[in-house]
Amino acid sequence: MIIARIQKKNDNNVIVLLDNDQKLFLSYEVLLKNGLRKGSEISESHFDYLIKENQKYFIRQKAYTLLGKRIHSVFELRTKLRQKKYDADLIQLTIDDLLNSRYLDDMKFAEMYAEEKLRLKLWGKTKLKSELMKKGISSGIITTVLEEKFPPADEELDNASQLVKKKYSQLKNRNMEKQKLVKRLYAFLISKGYSYDISRQAIEKLFNLSLEEE
């Protein structure tokens, strides 16, 4: 097959017209990388190779777009690319390239994710561990990140106390029996990842302060 003409499709892509009436839709990057021009000969195997390279190019561009919005775990990125119905083998090749070039790094993702959730949402350890697992982070990385980023017990209690105080302010005017109110507060703190013991201490601290204020 011989390239009869190369026609611009848009700013990023071209249409390669062949002498047997077949067409190739390629990005400029793939076109230039392979040195294609009018009169170039393309074998059947090269034709298939160019299609594969073009698919890889668009998968990579989609990956860059996603990573440009925020950092992703490997699992997250793979899931989103699969939702686009891209070839699984080409997705893996793209992910391997991104890992090698450090655009993807589950340790870095986990550290940043943990710092953000601890700072902005005051999550407890169980909640943070559970959410990192959902992101596909390995148990080894999770253990390391929790050891490095999770606050000591006194800070954890302070965080739980901040959360339960806000929740209490939302519930205290609902004419709720104290026993029911306490159960709601326990359920709330446990849903945020705090242990029963930390939850108990935070709630006791809350009610002691409330009595003092009264």
Which amino acid makes up residue 109?
Answer: F
pLDDT tens readout for residues 128-170: 999 999 999 999 999 999 999 887 888 899 999 999 999 999 9
Percent of the chain at pLDDT above 90? 60
Q: How far apart are CA 199 and CA 188, in angstroms?
A: 9
| DSSP, res 14 | E
Two structure tokens written together for 192: 């945020």
Q: Is the dihedral of CA 65, 92, 75, 78 positive or negative?
A: positive
pLDDT tens readout for residues 89-130: 999 999 999 999 999 999 999 999 999 999 999 999 999 999
pLDDT tens readout for residues 45-82: 888 888 888 999 999 999 999 999 999 999 999 999 99
Measuring CA to CA, which residue among 82, 139, 77, 144 is closest to residue 108?
144
Q: pTM of this prediction?
A: 0.80
Q: How far apart are CA 206 and CA 126, in angstroms?
A: 22
